[in-house]
């Protein structure tokens, strides 16, 4: 709750200006601490999964990576909409940051999924609907970043990539619902509005690690936003020289 309260507090400009350092550094350190503790809990404290045994412990990082990747992509979708309505460059920078950090989380999701799949399914990769839709989701946002790299004119780049982000975000609900819509080897969602498939101890460790991922992602996104803002400022045309009359 401390981390969530801090995130809400730094939304106030006066609070951010009063901090002795960049707002994202404290939340990044907090997230790193939670991740170290959460990984210890997942390895040494949590019980073995009933069917998968100790292999199931990877879910304490695999599932948070999946949730946070989808959250990043939906945040990028919101930033894209806000940019199209306001045409404010800061929202384009925020959208770029969310897309890039989401792709990082998506790559981690697929890597952890492959490590999990080998001992449980006997293969690093199968064309399972959940795996395939997750890969398509991540690659669609890779496409957004590639588009940004190709289009050099700042206004056109911002508009085109906002539209591409909105189109790419269609893959997020498709990925989430894939295990319900198609026959899949992948487990159904463990956490739903109807209840949880996990026992209480496994569940709170999963949530603990999810918050660790969330706070670290906020740090990455804040840092990436600053880079995008600096690049956008460098792209601004030089002011016209003053002409003496």
Summarize pLDDT for 60-104 with one digit per residue, the tens: 898 999 999 999 999 999 999 999 999 888 899 999 999 999 999
**Residue 192 scores a pLDDT above 60:** no
pLDDT of 213 strictly over 80: yes
The pLDDT value recorded for residue 212 is 93
Mean pLDDT confidence for 26-45: 90
DSSP for the chain, written as a single string:
-HHHHHHHHTTSHHHHHHSSS-THHHHHHHHHHHHHHHHHIIIIISPPBTTTBGGGGGHHHHHHHHHHHHHHHHHHHHHHHHHHHH--HHHHHHHHHHHHHHHHHHHHHHHHHHHHHHHHHSSS----HHHHHHHHHHHHHHHHHHHHHH--SHHHHHHHHHHHHHHHTTHHHHHHHHHHHS--SSPPPSEETTEESS-HHHHHHHHHHHHHHHHHHHHHHHHHHHHHHHHHHHHSPPPPPP---
Topology, domain 24-184+204-228? 1.20.120
pLDDT at position 244: 55
Confidence category of residue 193, pLDDT binned at 50, 70, 90: very low
Global confidence as pTM: 0.84
Q: Where are the domains of the chain?
A: 24-184+204-228
pLDDT given for residue 105 in this prediction: 93
């Amino acid at each position: 709750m401390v981390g969530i309260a801090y995130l809400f507090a730094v939304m106030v400009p006066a609070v951010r200006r009063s901090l002795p350092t960049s707002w994202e550094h404290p939340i990044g350190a907090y997230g790193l601490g939670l991740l170290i503790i959460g990984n210890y809990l997942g390895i040494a404290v949590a019980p073995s999964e009933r069917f998968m045994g100790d292999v199931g412990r990877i879910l304490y990082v695999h599932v948070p990576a999946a949730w946070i990747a989808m959250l990043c992509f939906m945040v990028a979708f919101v930033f894209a909409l806000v940019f199209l309505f306001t045409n404010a460059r800061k929202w384009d920078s925020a959208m770029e940051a969310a897309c890039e950090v989401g792709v990082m989380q998506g790559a981690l999701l697929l890597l952890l999924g492959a490590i999990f799949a080998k001992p449980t399914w006997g293969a690093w990769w199968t064309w399972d609907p959940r795996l395939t839709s997750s890969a398509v989701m991540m690659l669609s946002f890779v496409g957004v970043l590639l588009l940004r790299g190709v289009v050099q004119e700042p206004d056109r780049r911002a508009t085109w990539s906002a539209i591409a982000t909105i189109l790419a975000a269609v893959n997020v609900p498709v990925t989430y619902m894939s295990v319900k819509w198609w026959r899949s080897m992948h487990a159904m969602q463990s956490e739903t509005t109807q209840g949880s498939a996990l026992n209480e101890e496994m569940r709170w460790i999963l949530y603990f690690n999810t918050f660790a991922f969330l706070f670290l992602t906020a740090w990455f996104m804040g840092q990436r936003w600053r880079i995008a803002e600096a690049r956008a400022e460098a792209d601004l045309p030089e002011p016209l020289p003053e002409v003496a009359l």
